[in-house]
Chains A and B, each alone.
Chain A
Amino acid sequence: MFLHTNKLDFRSWVVIWILSVLLLWEGVAWILHLFMSPQQAASRLPYLHDVLAALFRYSGTLAEQGAVTFGNAAIGFAGGTVLGLLLALLMSVAVWVERTLSPYVISSQMVPVIGLAPIVYGIIHNAEWARIIMAAYVTFFPIIIHTLKGLKSAAPEHLELMRSCGASLPARYLKCLLPSALPGLFSGMKIAAPLAVTSSIVVELMGAPDGLGVLMVSSLYYGSAQIGMFWATIMLSIGIGLTSYLAISLAERWLTPWQPEFRAKGGRAA
Chain B
Amino acid sequence: MMNERVMVSRKGEEGATAAVSGTASIGESIADSVRLPSPSSTNIHGHQGQAEQRRLGSSIRKRSIGLRLLPWLAGALFLTLWQLRLFHQLFSLESYQLPVPSAIAASIRENAEMLFRYAMYSGTEMLGGFLLGSLLGALAASGASFFPTSGRAAVAVMSALNAVPIVALAPIMNNWFGDGIWSRIAVVAVITMAAMAVSLFKGLTSIQPQYSDLMGGLAASRMQVFVKLRWPHALPSLFAGLKINMSTSIIGAIVGEFFIASQGLGYLLSDQIRLANMPLAWSCIVIAAVLGIVLYEAVVLAEKRLTPWNRAHTDP
Q: Which of B265-299 contact A (CB under 8 A)?
A: 265-266, 269-270, 273, 276, 278, 281-282, 284-285, 288-289, 292-293, 296
Q: Is the CB of B285 within 8 A of A119?
A: yes
Q: CA of A158 to CA of B13 in the docked complex: distance in angstroms?
A: 18
User: Which residues of chain B are near A264, meaning CB under 8 Å?
Assistant: none
- Output the residue of B26, B30, B154, B168 with the most chain A CB within 10 A: B168
Q: Is A17's beta carbon under 8 Å from chain B?
A: yes
Give CA–CA (A133, B23) in the complex, Å: 27
Q: Do residues A234 and B39 form an inter-chain contact, with CB atoms below 8 A?
A: no
Instruction: Give complex CA distance A66, B26 in Å.
Output: 37
Our pick among A100, A194, A261 for the contact of B71 (Cβ within 8 Å) is: A100
B292-A112 in contact (CB<8A): yes
Report the minimal beta-carbon distance from B297 to chain A, rounded to whole angstroms: 8
Residues of A within 8 A of B259 (CB): 205
User: CB-nearest residue of chain A relative to B45?
Assistant: A153
Does A4 interact with chain B (Cβ within 8 Å)?
yes
A220-B260 Cα distance, complex, nearest whole Å: 11
- A8-B149, A103-B20 as given contacts; A198 in contact with B269, CB under 8 Å: no
A100 CB contacts on chain B under 8 angstroms? 70-71, 73-74
Task: Name the residue on B nearest A167 (C-beta).
Answer: B2
Residues of chain B lying within 8 A (CB to CB) of residue A230: 171
Q: B68's contact among A44, A99, A191, by CB below 8 Å, is which?
A: A99
Distance in angstroms from A240 CB to nearest chain B CB is 8
A window 1-40: CB within 8 A of B: 1-4, 6, 8-11, 13-14, 16-18, 21
Which residues from 208 to 253 on chain A have a C-beta closer than 8 Å to any C-beta of chain B? 213, 216, 220, 230, 234, 237-238, 240-242, 244-246
Is B247's CB within 8 Å of the partner chain A? yes
B85 CB–A CB distance under 8 Å:
no
- Are A10 and B153 also in contact (CB < 8 A) when A122-B97, A241-B164 are? yes
B150 x A111 contact (CB < 8 A): no
Check B270–A238 contact: CB distance below 8 A: no
Any A CB within 8 A of the CB of B21: yes
Instruction: Using A110-B296, A153-B41 as known contacts, say yes or no to A234 and B172 having CB atoms under 8 A apart.
Output: yes
**Using a CB-CB cutoff of 8 Å, which residues 1-19 of chain B contact chain A?**
2-3, 6, 8-13, 15-16, 19
Size bin of chain A's contact surface: 35 or more
- The segment from A54-62, A81-89, A144-152 found at the interface with B is A144-152
Among candidates A163, A205, A267, residue contacting B167 with C-beta atoms closer than 8 Å: A205
**CB–CB B209/A270 < 8 A:** yes
What are 15 inter-chain pairs, A to B, with CB distance below 8 A? Answer: A10-B152, A16-B153, A96-B67, A100-B70, A100-B71, A102-B20, A106-B23, A109-B30, A111-B293, A115-B266, A155-B48, A156-B52, A230-B171, A234-B168, A245-B162
Which B residue sits closest to A191, measured CB to CB?
B35
Contact B12 A98 (CB under 8 A): yes
B27 touches A106 (CB 8 A): yes
Counting from the closest, the 10 A-B pairs by CB-CB distance are A13-B153, A245-B163, A95-B12, A111-B289, A198-B165, A110-B292, A270-B207, A156-B51, A103-B21, A241-B163
B10 nearest CB neighbor, chain A only: A156
Q: Are B167 and A213 in contact (CB-based, < 8 A)?
A: yes
What 1/0 flags go to A123-162 for Cβ under 8 Å of B? 1000000000000000000000110010011011101000
Q: Complex: how many Å from CA A107 to CA B75?
A: 13
Given contacts A4-B149, A44-B176, A115-B284, contact A99 B12 (CB under 8 A): yes
Is there an interface contact between B246 and A216, defined as CB atoms closer than 8 Å? no
- In this complex, how many residues of chain B approach chain A with their Cβ under 8 Å: the count is 97
Q: Which residues of A contact B278 (CB under 8 A)?
A: 119, 122
Majority SS at the chain A contact face: helix
User: How far in angstroms is the closest Cβ of chain A from B76?
Assistant: 12
Q: Which residues of A have CB within 8 Å of B212?
A: 270
| B146-176 CB contacts (< 8 Å) to partner A | 146-150, 152-154, 156-157, 160, 162-168, 171-172, 175-176
Q: Specify which chain A residues have a CB less than 8 angstroms from the CB of B306 in the assembled complex.
A: none
C-beta contact mask, A187-218 vs B, less than 8 Å → 1, else 0?
10011011101100110011000000100100
A111 & B288 in contact (Cβ 8 Å cutoff): yes
- Is A257 part of the contact surface with B, judged by Cβ < 8 Å? no
CA distance A197 to B163 in the complex (A): 10
How distant is B261 from chain A, measured CB to nearest CB, in Å? 13
B residues within 8 A CB of A145?
Answer: 30-31
Q: Is A92 in contact with chain B by the CB < 8 A criterion? A: yes
> Any chain A CB within 8 A of the CB of B254?
yes
> 5 new A-B pairs (CB below 8 Å) besides A107-B289, A194-B165?
A13-B154, A106-B30, A149-B31, A163-B6, A205-B258
With A3-B222, A114-B251 already in contact, the answer to whether A101 and B74 are too (CB < 8 A) is yes
Q: Is the CB of B16 within 8 A of A99?
A: yes
Once the chains are docked, how many angstroms separate the CA of A157 from the CA of B48?
Answer: 9
Contacts A10-B149, A102-B16, A260-B39 given: A146-B34 contact, CB under 8 Å? Answer: yes
**Most chain B beta carbons < 10 A, residue from A16, A119, A193, A238:** A119
List chain B residues, Cβ under 8 A from A98. 9, 12, 16
